[in-house]
Homo-oligomer: A and B are copies of this chain.
Amino acid sequence: MRTLIIIAHPELESSNLQPFFKAAVENYSDVNWHPLSTDFDIEQEQKLLLAQDRIIFEFPLYWYSAPAILKQWMDSVMTTKFVTGNRYALSGKELGLVVSTGDAESSFQAGATEKFTMSELMRPFEAFANKTRMKYLPLLTIHQFLYLNPDEQQRLLVNYQQYITNPRLDHFKDQESWFENELQNRIEATDPHAAELQQILDTIKNRQDELDDLQWNLSEMKKEEDS
């Protein structure tokens, strides 16, 4: 799966979060890190988009939307001819948003300071995905990155890696298999603890069937309780 990460950040050199994310995915050969500038070639950008399976818009929240640099790029590159008409060039590809904000998660709801949820505020992107026949992914929102402790940062890093590289984000089982692959890759990358890790991985795989059964039973029980 090929993923293009379109970074729309007018002050990229002063961002704390973006270098953290960049480092998290630099070992994935199918991931393309693509910071926007105001100067770009429309045809080249369109060609780049065509080669992807997943397209990510990654930006800090500026006035409840993306910075102008992303809109400028969208207004120019996403021509009607390119994305609709007979071609629907982006049809079937996935669109994900990675949005960072200095405000707390609890502020984004009715009655709180920001008044609307992030899903509501990102409607224009959802409408764009709808119009261009892309599959709109659940948002990945990062609230107050600088307040995260090392454990929380580590969890965020893994979530981000999954968001960028996991072909299927929506199921528990697919997350498990993504972890298995990650572990296998690390073992193959001449890890000094290879034997130990291989043993862990084998154990995980053996227990996968057991876990699947458990997961299914749990979800059924939960449904019964909820109804």
With contact pairs A67-B75, A71-B65, A115-B130 given, residues A121 and B123 touching in the complex (Cβ less than 8 Å): yes
Chain A interface, number of residues (Cβ within 8 angstroms):
28
B120 and A123 within 8 A (CB): yes
CA–CA, A92 and B30, complex, Å: 51
B116 and A126 within 8 A (CB): yes
Within 8 A of B (CB), among A73-109: 74-75, 78
Residues of chain B lying within 8 A (CB to CB) of residue A75: 10, 62-63, 67-68
**What number of copies of this chain does the assembly contain?**
2
Sample of 7 further A-B pairs with CB below 8 A, known A65-B71, A116-B127, A121-B124:
A10-B75, A62-B71, A63-B78, A64-B125, A68-B75, A113-B131, A120-B123
With contact pairs A114-B131, A127-B121 given, residues A74 and B63 touching in the complex (Cβ less than 8 Å): yes
A123 and B64 within 8 A (CB): yes
A172 is an interface residue with CB less than 8 A from chain B = no
Within 8 A of B (CB), among A109-143: 113-116, 120-121, 123-128, 130-131
CA–CA, A63 and B116, complex, Å: 20
21 contacting pairs across A/B (C-beta < 8 A):
A63-B71, A63-B74, A63-B75, A65-B65, A65-B71, A65-B124, A66-B71, A67-B71, A68-B69, A68-B71, A68-B72, A68-B74, A72-B72, A114-B130, A114-B131, A115-B127, A115-B130, A116-B123, A116-B126, A116-B127, A121-B123
CA–CA, A75 and B62, complex, Å: 7
Residues of chain B lying within 8 A (CB to CB) of residue A65: 65, 71, 124
**Which of chain B's residues has its CB closest to A120's CB?**
B123
